Structure 1
């Protein structure tokens, strides 16, 4: 009989990874206590260590840059829409933007 994959919350993963970082208990003890394989605890610990700098400002800057980029893209979309509307209303042009032959 196959086991189903258990999905763990971010809070649970952080709690286990912090417990592994503290090194008060061994991986085997943490594994039996939380019901998670030792390899998975090690991965969560490595991920926590790798992403820790993002918690102190780097991610916030990325979010601000993302918002600025989205605003710039919206501005460009508006400009292109105005240009498209203007060109589509010109007499003598077909839908492809080429002059009609008479």
Structure 2
């Protein structure tokens, strides 16, 4: 079993995100230097960019931005819970890794679970 989950302060996240935003080094180099996964650095950078308008929003703007953020978090949680119960594996990820194709799928049929596509209920 892995060790305890690491927790980072807001200041540390901001420092790493700003470093990534400056683009003096690659995300991979920044992640290596701070012993993080590159996806974590990219996530913090994206969160920084998405949160910047809040900094300049006035009183009413801040309230709307906070409400929007809460709503986004709520929706993200709902989507994650609903998706986890569907057992959906995006085909484009596995196909792209084998074929060298990194574009979007040609249709949405690849996101439909096999039992739903066949119209037959899944047997346990």
CA distance in 2, matches of 1:2, 1:29: 24
Q: Tell me the residue number matched to 1:11.
A: 11
C-alpha deviation, 1:35, in angstroms: 1.1
Flag structure 2 segments of 5+ consecutive residues without an equivalent: 64-124
Q: Tell me the residue number matched to 1:26.
A: 26
Q: Tell me the residue number matched to 1:49.
A: 49
CA distance in 2, matches of 1:38, 1:3: 20
Q: Tell me the residue number matched to 2:39.
A: 39
Give the match's secondary structure for 1:3: coil
The alignment of Structure 1 onto Structure 2 pairs a total of residues equal to 62
Question: Which stretches of structure 1, 4 residues or longer, exceed 4 Å deviation after superposition?
Answer: none
Q: TM (normalized to structure 2)?
A: 0.46
| Structural RMSD (CA) | 1.4
C-alpha deviation, 1:4, in angstroms: 1.3
Flag structure 1 segments of 5+ consecutive residues without an equivalent: 64-102
CA distance in 1, matches of 2:26, 2:57: 32
* Structure index of larger Rg: 1
